[in-house]
Structure 1
Amino acid sequence: MVQAKTGIALVYLCLATVLAQAQEPPSRSVVTAADYARAEQFLPANAVRLLTGVPVGPVTWVGDSDRFWYRVRTADGERFILVDPAARARRDAFDHGRLAAALSAAADTSYDPARMPFATFEFVEDGAALKLDIGAAKWRCELAAYTCAERDASTEFSPAELASPDGTRALFVRDHNLWVRAAGEEDGAQLTDDGEPYWDYGSSPEGNTSAVTIRRFGIPVPPAALWSPDGRYVATHQLDQRGVLEMHLVQAAPEDGSKRPRHHAYRYALPGDSIIPMAHMVIVDTETGAVTRLNADPLHSIFQSPFAFQNVWWATDGSALYTLRFTRGQKAASLESADPATGEVRTIIEESCATYCEATPSLASRPNVRVLGGGDEVLWWSERDGWGHLYLYDGPTGELRRQVTSGPWLVRQVLHVDEATRTLWFTASGREGGDPYYMQLYSVGLDGGPVRRLTAEDSHHLVTASPGGAWFVDTYGRIDAAPVTVLRDRSGAAVMTLETGSLAGLEALGWSPPEMVVTKARDGVTDLYGLIVKPTGFDPEAVYPVIDYVYPGPQTAWVPKSIADPLSRVLWDAQATAELGAVVVVLDGLGKPLRSKAFHNVSYGNLQDAGGLADHLSSMKQLAASRPWMDLERVGVHGFSGGGYMSTHAILTQPDFYRVAVSGAGNHDQRGYIALWGELYHGLMDPDGANYIQQANTTHAANLKGKLLLIHGEMDDNVSPALTMQVVDALIKANRTFDMLILPNLNHGAGGDPYYIRRRWDYFVEHLIGAEPPADYRVVPS
């Protein structure tokens, strides 16, 4: 009987165990701390340290000479290199060991010559000495004896001042007015006396996306102004922000430990606002104090000062002040010339555009406009024939003389114009076939003749011209090849190889270049260019979820073209994400810049197209058709800023395709973002606002099916966190489930915050990869 009862008990126990196992979820795979550590090695700041033989930052020309220096990473650490093109000489800019020893002795510390404690310096006394700063300490080092001493900086100007061309005086702002002082002078002389809050001289609009950040951290900002070549006059503006409506941030956890939240207000014009910041241009005689107001309407200054956009410049002899003017929404552009003595203004060139006019294909880069021959001619960039090209105008009459460049390709940047030989040098893309984004160096005569290609390599060329235009520093490469830096003469001949890049440090981690892919746009005709980034342990027999790393902004390209390209940060961020166990795609789409005007115009009045979202879907389906390791049943999407908008828009408008989205600091509704952005790329707002409804992510909130994580920095003065909270409000009203993370005290730089990175990784690991992330992994700031 006992045996019978025991048997029954065993049967029940086995049955209970089977039922319990059936009710338990299947065990999940685990992504380990070691996996995260491997991913961390590829974060942008870490990955670039493994890349050697590539200049770090721009080259620095020594005065007006052709000599220049740059910083480069080598296998043995960083070096500062000085180049003399005329002598074909390349050498260390100084003895790194002796300078490190001299600085160490002077500062009573220890500096490593392979990691010098400064990133920039200035040659003085014709190269016999250096001036450099280490933190707050200011040093002067004699290169003959290699001795260093703290220098007397009392005669130097602060970063909040704008030095005159000869360096003897500086312009600054005090109590909303302009002042000027001589080197070593404490007080200075007041130049204007009618400045007041929000009607002040030399200020930048608070819609510049960092007004609160500048205020919080006391960041010095020099006046928005420009000295005349002879150093007597200053062109600036009295900026009118009176009546511009405010935006607000609430700092819930102030750094000083206060338990009372702190309020920050800043003036920030939105699309449709009747009052926007306006820059009233003036010319000030710094010797007499006379203020001449230009006899012209003020310039729109919604986002940046016209000086920050380089839309104002002096004639080389100071006889005229030139200004580029754009209407609100930029449907028209004009070039004006002002007489500094009288303030009279003459319009030289006017152009209108069906969508919007630009003077350069890259927002905020120097306009491709040059005034030549003392005003006799003007070189003008326009997309009137469907491509960005250069046109030569008669200066006195404003009549078109000739089109200088033409064809189905894009002029990117004017580098130099030699008026004596009537020749200009410029970069362009799309002319040679292949990847239409690869830049090449060209020259052409102003009076006609063929365009001459000066760089033969099928690569992306990043070119800088010397001040006199005699030499060009060219760093060329591709995303699948190490960059090479050469010095070229005017013919394009490479007269010196300065650096040969190496990927050995990256390859030692198992890295291999991403797959460069070409797909068709939604029209089935247009070629689009992208990348597939795979994890270092990629197994073609396995199946991987896909993460679409996005940015829709119509103002910039997104897919990097070279390891040396500033956009390479996109590649490294994608590589780090791929290491979690996914493949990451970085894709192009209709509506982005740097192709034809028709290609770009797809996004105009159509920001809800979100950087060619339909092209992303089409491209991924094309790619997966021949790559069975791409699992389109598990597609995620991530982006920051405009990419935060696009990632949210993707999961809301394509809920059956995108399963997981991480959205950082999204400008989810252009009605709540800076007026310049929406009005330029989406068009002026209709009186009833109807043309802005579909672009708003709040409009589509009820469509959410997948997993959505919204992240925003609490102190973001670029994209207001209110835009994320408005999406949250719409999701709650639609009874949708989502996740949210607010990062206290962080501004628009939150995308690089270690906690942000870790939580983004965790979200994809858990909800897309279907694994368990390591508990509370700490990403180390880099």
Structure 2
Amino acid sequence: MKNIKNSLYLFLLLSLPVLGQQKITLEEIWGGAFRTQGMYSLEAMKNTNQYTVLNGGWGSGQIDLYDFATLEKVTTIISSKDFSELDGIDSYTFSPDEKKVLIAVNSEQIFRHSFVADYFIYDIASKKLVRLSDDKVQEPTFSADNSKIAYGYNNNLYVYDMATGATKQITTDGVKNAVINGITDWVYEEEFAFVRAYDWNAAGDKIAYIRFDESEVPEFSMDIYQGGLYPQQYSFKYPKAGENNSKVSLHIYDVKNNTTQKIAFTNIDAYYIPRIKWTNDEQTLSVQLINRHQNDLNLVFVNGNSGKVTSVLHETDKAYVDITDNLTFLNDNSFIWTSEKDGFNHIYHYDKSGKLIRQVTKGDWEVTAYYGFDKKTGNIFYQSVENGSINRDVYRIALTGKNKTRLTQKTGTNNATFSPNFEYFINSFSSAQEPTSYALLNAKNGKEVKEIANNKALKDRLANYNLPTKEFTTIKTDKGHELNAWIIKPANFDSSKKYPLFMYQYSGPGSQEVANKWNSYNDYWFLMLAQRGYIVACVDGRGTGFKGADFKKVTYKELGKYEVEDQIDAAKVLGRYDYVDASRIGIFGWSFGGFMSSNCILKGNDVFKMAIAVAPVTNWRLYDSVYTERYMQTPQENASGYDENSPISHVGKLEGSYLLIHGTADDNVHVQNTMLMVEALVQANKQFDWAIYPDKNHGIYGGATRLQLFTKMTNFIKEKL
């Protein structure tokens, strides 16, 4: 009996959490226990040296105004608590004179970026709130003269006059799944990353808009299971690789004359119109046009009165040209442009006719964000990876290309929001060791003026977990490729032991997972796995970004070939480490990463013991036209590139344990990808595991979904690795 008591005492003692050894749980991760505090919806004002932040909890909200120089709160512009019409505040935008605010409430998501909402116009001086429309509308935008608001509703454009309260419909041919005016179609929204396809000119008397004729685009449908005795079908236009895209055309509406002219692009390939933007000349519109292969881009100017088109800049690439939002017009209508034409993404200055004045930044590193131009000092502010491709710093440089100054000194990821006069910027900083902090910095010398927030409480709380550190390194494969990587080892790591290795990657063109920044939700999961005795590693192979165009574009026309080679080769290198059990290596990925993890366990069946693929593309023939053809051309032109790198073509090679996961309402990577993969595996008589999430989109979330999903994946890793 005495021995039993002593054994029970010892068991209880060992079961108690050791100080500093608290274990991460999935419930904590997905319950928000490690969420950082931030400055939500931080926006710099344009007319005063101030900024706004949306404060308040769920179901409430207020827009607070702060002074850049002192960081002191000036006033609360509006609080939802003061208006019964406002069920919180989802988002907001100011009028150009910053005397009125457009407030969105009751937002309903459509696709990744698009949504409809109830909108209200708030007059700051009179404190009056007016509803914009009785209906939920899209993308309302103030005119430059502050008198009107344009918006999209049911595939048409409307203009609301704030003085009279009258609304005018300016297009009439919009029809669901046929014609859209001023709002992008699905593929433009997803792959060119914008929704509002119209723009006011500087005088407020013209609206340029893109019209999408998607009547010949094939339709995709999804069954929706919740809410009725019979499933409902949701149908939308989705152009898969090689299929018809929307026929796009550019139009300019004259507000005063109530007339519309269609712009003709003669002798220019205008298959896609990925950007429109009025210049500082109120009657000159800039338009970016690109061919279907997306390797021939034209920047043209359109006269808003005559419709005359003038070619300004022409850029081609042997692979593809990326579309960005960095086009900035100066007072003389010369413009700033970013391009990879010298092999790295850099800043260029052109005159208004398109003649190159100079390349502003140069070097074997990339500009990763453009913040703005200070016309008083002639300085450009930007972000780059000059301090290492996994880091981000904020810089200032003269338009002449001289006097470059690094304004951030902490090594990690720095992002800036500049004051309107460019005297200060709010810098958000984080690294793999430091949670996100916010501070006011001087834009002249980068010196810190004042700390705003630091998330020290989160860091102190995490100290109780004795978490391992994320170690950054470079892996050189047997083929000689040097690849960025990070490794997480258990906190009680013993180099004399052998540990199973779990690899994570995404690997999509221009992406980056090996970055020196604070933890994502996935990172906490990886730390949890490390606490359970796994080594977790991530490798950015060829095709990923911020190491130059050649490194990124080597995968052109063969997505999944070199990227998969690099993951297999990296796993072999890691498997030779003394402390890695080469017989127990697994890999995980989501979306493009799921495509990769599927290929890895098939093509690398002698390396990987298990793989998890969430929402994977299994054949690029099934994915959308804009993304796929940018990197692969069409299936009609490059059939072998599509088929030889499709996991479906290699199912017979499956030897290890494979978990396949998808949501049935995924409008992006359709569940069709998984269904065809399943059928191929079945016909190859291969055993595998899979999970289907009804009515869940590409992110597979909502309620307890993420908790259940990550519990399933954790259990699979525990059982199979």
* Shorter-chain TM band: 0.7 to 0.9
Counterpart among 300, 310, 330 of residue 372 in structure 1: 330
CA contact (8 A) 1:577 1:761 kept: no
Q: How far off its partner does 1:544 sit?
A: 3.3
For the pair 1:163 / 2:149, whether they are aligned, the reply is no
Q: Secondary structure at the match of 1:608?
A: coil
CA contact (8 A) 1:549 1:637 kept: yes
Structure 1 pair 236/714, CA: closer, same or farther in 2 (3 Å)?
same
Question: Where does 1:650-661 land on structure 2 (aligned, <5 Å)?
Answer: 650-661=600-611
For the pair 1:177 / 2:156, whether they are aligned, the reply is yes
Which amino acid is the alignment partner of residue 545 of structure 1? P
Q: Secondary structure at the match of 2:338?
A: strand
Structure 1 pair 205/387, CA: closer, same or farther in 2 (3 Å)?
same
For the pair 1:257 / 2:228, whether they are aligned, the reply is yes
Give the structure 2 partner of residue 290 of structure 1.
259
Q: How far off its partner does 1:607 sit?
A: 0.9
For the pair 1:693 / 2:643, whether they are aligned, the reply is yes
Give the structure 1 partner of residue 350 of structure 2.
393
Question: Where does 1:536-551 land on structure 2 (aligned, <5 Å)?
Answer: 543-551=498-506
Pick the structure with greater CA Rg.
1
Give the structure 2 partner of residue 191 of structure 1.
170
Give the structure 1 partner of residue 450 of structure 2.
496
Looking at structure 2, the residues matched to 386 and 619 of structure 1 have their Cα atoms a distance apart, in angstroms, of: 26
Question: 1:757-776 deviations in whole A, cap 9, x for unaligned?
Answer: 535543553465459xxxxx
Which of 162-171 and 631-640 deviates more? 162-171
Question: 1:321-361 deviations in whole A, cap 9, x for unaligned?
Answer: 1112222121111211110101111110101111111244x
CA contact (8 A) 1:707 1:738 kept: yes
Structure 1 pair 117/624, CA: closer, same or farther in 2 (3 Å)?
farther
Give percent identity, aligned residues only.
Answer: 23
Q: How far off its partner does 1:128 sit?
A: 12
Counterpart among 553, 557, 560 of residue 601 in structure 1: 553
CA contact (8 A) 1:94 1:143 kept: no
Which of 569-578 and 235-244 deviates more? 569-578
Q: Secondary structure at the match of 1:207?
A: helix
Q: How far off its partner does 1:294 sit?
A: 1.5
For the pair 1:206 / 2:181, whether they are aligned, the reply is no
Question: 1:268-309 deviations in whole A, cap 9, x for unaligned?
Answer: 112222x2113211111123211021221698687xx73xxx
Looking at structure 1, the residues matched to 463 and 62 of structure 2 have their Cα atoms a distance apart, in angstroms, of: 22
* Higher RCO (CA-CA < 8 Å; seq separation 6+): 1
For the pair 1:65 / 2:23, whether they are aligned, the reply is no
Question: Where does 1:214-225 land on structure 2 (aligned, <5 Å)?
Answer: 224-225=197-198
Counterpart among 347, 355, 360 of residue 404 in structure 1: 360
Q: How far off its partner does 1:55 sit?
A: 2.3
Looking at structure 2, the residues matched to 89 and 133 of structure 1 have their Cα atoms a distance apart, in angstroms, of: 26
Q: How far off its partner does 1:173 sit?
A: 4.0
Question: 1:192-237 deviations in whole A, cap 9, x for unaligned?
Answer: 34445523312321335789xxxxxxxxx98531122232211111
Give the structure 2 partner of residue 531 of structure 1.
486
Which of 335-344 and 165-174 deviates more? 165-174
Which amino acid is the alignment partner of residue 428 of structure 1? S
Looking at structure 2, the residues matched to 295 and 659 of structure 1 have their Cα atoms a distance apart, in angstroms, of: 57
Q: Secondary structure at the match of 1:507?
A: helix
CA contact (8 A) 1:276 1:300 kept: no
CA contact (8 A) 2:568 2:600 kept: no
Counterpart among 717, 720, 735 of residue 667 in structure 2: 717
Counterpart among 449, 453, 457 of residue 410 in structure 2: 457
Structure 1 pair 707/574, CA: closer, same or farther in 2 (3 Å)?
same
Question: 1:605-629 deviations in whole A, cap 9, x for unaligned?
Answer: 221236x33333333444454451x
Q: How far off its partner does 1:247 sit?
A: 2.0
Q: How far off its partner does 1:577 sit?
A: 4.4
Give the structure 1 partner of residue 567 of structure 2.
616
Aligned residue-pair number: 679
In the alignment, structure 1 segments of 5+ residues that lack a partner are: 1-30, 108-115, 212-220, 361-365, 772-782
Give the structure 2 partner of residue 350 of structure 1.
314
Q: How far off its partner does 1:649 sit?
A: 1.1
Question: Where does 1:301-450 land on structure 2 (aligned, <5 Å)?
Answer: 306=274, 311-360=275-324, 366=325, 368-375=326-333, 377-396=334-353, 398-429=354-385, 431-432=386-387, 435-450=388-403
Give the structure 1 partner of residue 439 of structure 2.
486
Looking at structure 1, the residues matched to 701 and 302 of structure 2 have their Cα atoms a distance apart, in angstroms, of: 43
Q: How far off its partner does 1:655 sit?
A: 1.0
Q: Secondary structure at the match of 1:508?
A: helix
CA contact (8 A) 2:468 2:488 kept: no
Which of 173-182 and 228-237 deviates more? 173-182
Counterpart among 204, 211, 215 of residue 238 in structure 1: 211
Q: How far off its partner does 1:645 sit?
A: 0.9
Looking at structure 1, the residues matched to 121 and 320 of structure 2 have their Cα atoms a distance apart, in angstroms, of: 50
Which of 726-735 and 223-232 deviates more? 223-232
Q: Secondary structure at the match of 1:559?
A: coil
State TM-score, norm by structure 2. 0.83
CA contact (8 A) 1:635 1:768 kept: no
Question: Where does 1:71-86 land on structure 2 (aligned, <5 Å)?
Answer: 83-86=66-69
Looking at structure 2, the residues matched to 737 and 36 of structure 1 have their Cα atoms a distance apart, in angstroms, of: 37
Which amino acid is the alignment partner of residue 486 of structure 1? A
Looking at structure 2, the residues matched to 40 and 163 of structure 1 have their Cα atoms a distance apart, in angstroms, of: 42
Counterpart among 130, 154, 166 of residue 131 in structure 2: 154
Q: How far off its partner does 1:700 sit?
A: 0.8
Structure 1 pair 352/369, CA: closer, same or farther in 2 (3 Å)?
same
Q: Secondary structure at the match of 2:644?
A: coil
Structure 1 pair 469/191, CA: closer, same or farther in 2 (3 Å)?
same
CA contact (8 A) 2:510 2:543 kept: no
Looking at structure 2, the residues matched to 355 and 587 of structure 1 have their Cα atoms a distance apart, in angstroms, of: 24
Q: How far off its partner does 1:240 sit?
A: 1.4
In the alignment, structure 2 segments of 5+ residues that lack a partner are: 1-14, 16-20, 108-117
Looking at structure 2, the residues matched to 292 and 626 of structure 1 have their Cα atoms a distance apart, in angstroms, of: 67
Q: How far off its partner does 1:573 sit?
A: 3.8
Give the structure 2 partner of residue 9 of structure 1.
none
Structure 1 pair 758/537, CA: closer, same or farther in 2 (3 Å)?
farther
Q: How far off its partner does 1:597 sit?
A: 1.1
Counterpart among 90, 115, 122 of residue 72 in structure 2: 90
Which amino acid is the alignment partner of residue 300 of structure 2? E
CA contact (8 A) 2:43 2:51 kept: yes
Q: How far off its partner does 1:599 sit?
A: 1.0
Looking at structure 2, the residues matched to 742 and 687 of structure 1 have their Cα atoms a distance apart, in angstroms, of: 34
Question: 1:581-640 deviations in whole A, cap 9, x for unaligned?
Answer: 423222211110111111112222221236x33333333444454451x32211222211
Looking at structure 2, the residues matched to 200 and 81 of structure 1 have their Cα atoms a distance apart, in angstroms, of: 36
Q: How far off its partner does 1:484 sit?
A: 3.5
Looking at structure 2, the residues matched to 583 and 436 of structure 1 have their Cα atoms a distance apart, in angstroms, of: 24
Which of 156-165 and 728-737 deviates more? 156-165
Which of 40-49 and 401-410 deviates more? 40-49
Q: Secondary structure at the match of 1:607?
A: coil
Structure 1 pair 83/743, CA: closer, same or farther in 2 (3 Å)?
same
Q: Secondary structure at the match of 2:138?
A: coil
Structure 1 pair 381/120, CA: closer, same or farther in 2 (3 Å)?
closer
Which amino acid is the alignment partner of residue 747 of structure 1? N
Q: How far off its partner does 1:485 sit?
A: 2.1
Looking at structure 1, the residues matched to 500 and 377 of structure 2 have their Cα atoms a distance apart, in angstroms, of: 58
Looking at structure 1, the residues matched to 88 and 530 of structure 2 have their Cα atoms a distance apart, in angstroms, of: 34
Q: How far off its partner does 1:185 sit?
A: 6.7
Structure 1 pair 412/457, CA: closer, same or farther in 2 (3 Å)?
same
Structure 1 pair 764/513, CA: closer, same or farther in 2 (3 Å)?
same
Looking at structure 1, the residues matched to 343 and 195 of structure 2 have their Cα atoms a distance apart, in angstroms, of: 39
Looking at structure 2, the residues matched to 133 and 236 of structure 1 have their Cα atoms a distance apart, in angstroms, of: 23
